[in-house]
Amino acid sequence: MPRSLWKGAVSFGLVTIPVKLYSATEEKDVTFRQVHPADGGRIKYKRVCEVCGEEVPYSEIAKGYETADGRMVILEASDFEDLPLPTAKQVEIVQFVEDGEIDPTAHNKSYFLEAEGPGAKPYVLLREALRKAKKVAVVKVALRSRESLALIRATDDLLVMQTLLWPDELRDGSFAAPDSEIKASKGEVDMAKMFIDQLTAPYEPDAFTDSYREALEQVVAAKLGDAPAPEAAEAETGGGDVVDLVAALKASVEAAKKRREQAAKTG
């Protein structure tokens, strides 16, 4: 069982729900070490003070906040623990919104909420009320030395909290939009929709795998002598600039139909 990251309470009006917080995700990737290629030795770094030149153990490193005029303020662990912040140990529900109303770009990290002790009954109450109302709760919570906005939603038998980025942390992406004078014709849109329809199916996450990680693991196994060297995959090219979008989309629809028919036969 994973270790809880935070203990506190969710404030639901006058109802308090004691909870523990657990990370809902874990990153799985091929990890690398920085090494000396001549002998495989790992590269180590020293933490050296720029003022006195002494090496500083990690356990003695403090957090410093540098002001605009260059002054440095040293913060102790107690400074963070004693912050005059009501959300430090309590998740404050500030409003409810329609599920899906929040721009997914703002979504950050997900956490499981587990009821503690007498919190089980009000936990179930909030979960079922959110599900029936088809709403999510907007909350404020302090995690990892910062306060965040977050959403609490009912997912299966759980309440899941998803932290949000603050509005000033979201970049303006208008620079990436194509020129407004570029238009798609009705025929092109209709053909593109046909292609979308051909590839529309219920989302089954287990049907997808991390091909990049699998390929790297094959390369590592080959270098260890545990497997033959993998063959390099041929990159698919689009054949240059597409002039006739409708013709290209029509060919894409036909290819999608064939893939679906083949998958049905083998499945």
pLDDT digits (tens, 9 = 90+) for 206-230: 888 877 788 888 887 887 887 777 7
In the chain the domains, ranked by start, together with CATH numbers, are 6-26+82-169 (2.40.290.10), 179-266 (no CATH)
- Does pLDDT of 242 surpass 60? no
The DSSP line for 91-110 is: EEEEEEEETT-S-GGGEEEE
Percent of the chain exceeding pLDDT 90 equals 39
Instruction: Summarize the confidence of residues 95-103 as an average pLDDT.
Output: 90
Average pLDDT, the chain: 85
**pTM reported for the whole predicted model:** 0.71
Cβ atoms of 253 and 191 closer than 8 Å: yes
Question: CA separation (Å) from 145 to 22, 88, 93?
Answer: 17, 9, 20
pLDDT for residue 203: 82
Please answer whether residues 109 and 25 qualify as being in contact, where contact means their C-beta atoms are separated by less than 8 angstroms.
Answer: yes
In 89-237, the DSSP E strands lie at 90-98, 107-115, 135-143, 146-155, 158-164
pLDDT tens digit string along 154-205?
999 999 999 999 999 999 999 999 999 999 889 889 988 988 888 888 888 8
d(CA 96, CA 127): 13
Are the beta carbons of 163 and 141 closer than 8 angstroms?
yes
Mean pLDDT of 232-243: 55
